[in-house]
Amino acid sequence: MNSHISLRRLVAATAVAYAVNAASLSDNCTTTSEVDSVSLEDICTTAYAQSVLPDTDSYPGITIDSTSVTTSIVTNSSVSSEWYPASTIEYCNVTFAYSHNGIKDDIVHVTYWVPSPDSFQNRYVSTGGGGLAINSGSEYIPSGIIVGAVSGITDGGFGSFDTDWDAVFLLANGTINWQSVYMFGYQAHRELATVGKELTRNFFNMSGSTKLYSYYQGCSEGGREGWSQVQRFADQFDGAAIGAPAFRYGQQQVNHLIGNVVEQTLGYYPPPCELEKVMNLTIAACDPMDGLADGIISRSDLCKLKFDLDSTIGEAYSCAATEAGVDSSDAPQTQGSPAQNGTVTAEAIAVVSAYLDGIHNSEGERVYLSYQPGAEFDDTATQFDPETGAWGPSISGLGGEWVGRFLELRDTNTLSTLDNVTYDTLEEWMKLGMQRYYDSLQTTYPDLSDFEAAGGKVIHVHGEQDFSIPTASSVRYYESVRGVMYGGLGFNESVAALDGFYRLYLVPGAGHCSTNGYQPGGPWPQTTLQAVIKWVEDGVEPDTLGGTGNIDTICRWPLRPLWSGNGTSFDCVYHQESIDTWSYALDAYSVPLY
């Protein structure tokens, strides 16, 4: 199984001659003809990939199966995404498997896309998953090729790249597969990056003294996976581009249920059209508060301070009937719904107010934070029961499965009912999940001193109107890091210190990890990975991020966007009252909730 090692050593012996930085090679035609002549075809073979597999001692505890290696060339592949500029790429698709020593029937698959030698820039990029998936298939991995990096994904050992973690989480009802928890939590990404970096060095004959820059990109669960590495493995990545992380996992997953529990508690299930109308009215009212009437809420904090939700009561709404169909969000199936006509009710506004306020327990203590006004109402989803002719709960798939499978340890994808579930139940669930998975999934360890000392940089982005992971969740973590690392400094001084390696940007009008159809023309920071690379490799500090759409400047926290002169002038401003709206005293906890 390890016959590749001797071959690898042989390769390494001749490697010194090629130990040149590929980025500078491209400017020097005279000395590089021999190296430039190595084509992707030359190295995209199973034999070559086997010869460059990492040594077994590069990651103690795993054994790479060299017989599992596959390679295939992909050329002229057109890729586009909000996470990288549209590009046509070519790469060698290398896959192989490894196992953990001492674990029976254990197999982890990894895929690395390898760029052609003439575009390799001495970089490696790991990419992450979403929901309960530890990879995003081919959605994010092209970003690595675009920046001249070897780019990787893992299946976490869950069976295949298409198998989500939940498929293997229970060994039986009541019995947790803890190996899968730690793999999902952080270990699979540790292995992906360690193996991937070594593979990259070997693939391109890099000498030990040549710097291989390593990066991470991911959003949502993939954002949590990125933080899981930055918090634990200080020198693993030089930079990370992290979006809307699903961290504070114990709270985050249960939080998906608050909408329906608010509705149950208040006894009113608003038709979706009524909620959509409230959102539309909120957008219309709050859009201009940032100084520019462009259909985009850039300042949900001013919206929170100034907008009176009650002003929407009595406004007429109407929506046509819809056919049953498959919903792309976490609700597996949307039921058909009848035409909805009415006026916004006081009951709906009570629901919306409680939902946006966030949950409090029966002692009146605050248990969690919530979404920004103007965000889509995802976790409040209701569905129509044709038998009763009434609207009722549509229990979040992520929230329901979290409780049924991951907390109650039953082999189920959902909760069948929220009967008897109160705010106090939600609090208990949040605390149970936090405690049980504190060292695997919670992912809010706030002391990043080692990462800072290692010279790492993080760009963290979050949509201002995220409907699935509250924007304030990211602000809370930023503030936790600031407080823990620089508690002795004043606010501005500690922000300046944090700016040295960790920056947070809230994206105007954006939803969950992307732009938002209800606020068209809003931006998304499409070149975040490129900005991290410039920061790491060239020392270019990103004051702001660029964006797609009609807004090309995304401000960095705690500064907030503000137009003046009817859109002729733009600034990122300091506004204490706005900053304060993002801060929640979560007094239902006797321990720090970072």
Angle, alpha carbons 85-91-97 (nearest 5°): 115
CB of 424 to ligand NAG, least distance (A): 14
Place of tokens 């009415």: 342
Minimum CB distance to ligand NAG smaller for 231 or for 494: 494
Q: Is 109 a catalytic residue?
A: no
What are the backbone dihedrals phi and psi of residue 504, each rounded to the nearest 5 degrees, phi first?
-115, 135
Spatial contact of 213 and 123, defined as CB atoms under 8 Å apart: yes
CB of 5 to ligand NAG, least distance (A): 16
Catalytic pick among 51, 512, 514, 578: 512
CB of 440 to ligand NAG, least distance (A): 22
Residue 177 DSSP class: -
Residue 545 C-alpha from the chain's centroid: 17
Residue 186 DSSP class: I
Q: What CA–CA distance (Å, rounded) separates 59 from 64?
A: 10
Question: Which tokens in the block code for residue 348?
Answer: 């709906």
Q: Is 330 a catalytic residue?
A: no
CB of 114 to ligand NAG, least distance (A): 9
Spatial contact of 536 and 238, defined as CB atoms under 8 Å apart: yes
* Bridge partner residues of 377 (DSSP): none
CB of 445 to ligand NAG, least distance (A): 26
Spatial contact of 242 and 531, defined as CB atoms under 8 Å apart: no
Place of tokens 């229970």: 170
Q: Is 4 a catalytic residue?
A: no
3-class DSSP state of 487: coil
Minimum CB distance to ligand NAG smaller for 48 or for 502: 48
CB of 331 to ligand NAG, least distance (A): 19
Minimum CB distance to ligand NAG smaller for 110 or for 513: 110
CB of 451 to ligand NAG, least distance (A): 25
What are the backbone dihedrals phi and psi of residue 70, each rounded to the nearest 5 degrees, phi first?
-125, 150
Minimum CB distance to ligand NAG smaller for 74 or for 432: 74
What is the binding site for ligand NAG (CB under 6 A)? Answer: 11, 14-15, 18, 24, 27-28, 30-31, 35, 38, 42-43, 70, 72, 74, 76, 78, 93, 95, 111, 117, 138, 173, 204-205, 273, 276-277, 280, 317-320, 339, 341, 410-412, 417, 419-420, 490-492, 518, 566, 574
Minimum CB distance to ligand NAG smaller for 247 or for 478: 478
Minimum CB distance to ligand NAG smaller for 232 or for 392: 392
Residue 543 C-alpha from the chain's centroid: 22
Catalytic pick among 166, 466, 468, 494: 466
Catalytic pick among 81, 99, 126, 220: 220
Q: What CA–CA distance (Å, rounded) separates 46 from 26?
A: 27
CB of 591 to ligand NAG, least distance (A): 27
Minimum CB distance to ligand NAG smaller for 138 or for 329: 138
What are the backbone dihedrals phi and psi of residue 127, each rounded to the nearest 5 degrees, phi first?
-125, 155
Spatial contact of 415 and 395, defined as CB atoms under 8 Å apart: yes
Spatial contact of 578 and 586, defined as CB atoms under 8 Å apart: no
* Alpha carbon separation from 454 to 368, 387, 450, 501, 544 (Å, rounded): 33, 62, 6, 10, 24
Minimum CB distance to ligand NAG smaller for 320 or for 540: 320
Place of tokens 């990043």: 448
Place of tokens 């203590």: 365
Q: Mind telling me the catalytic residues?
A: 220, 466, 512
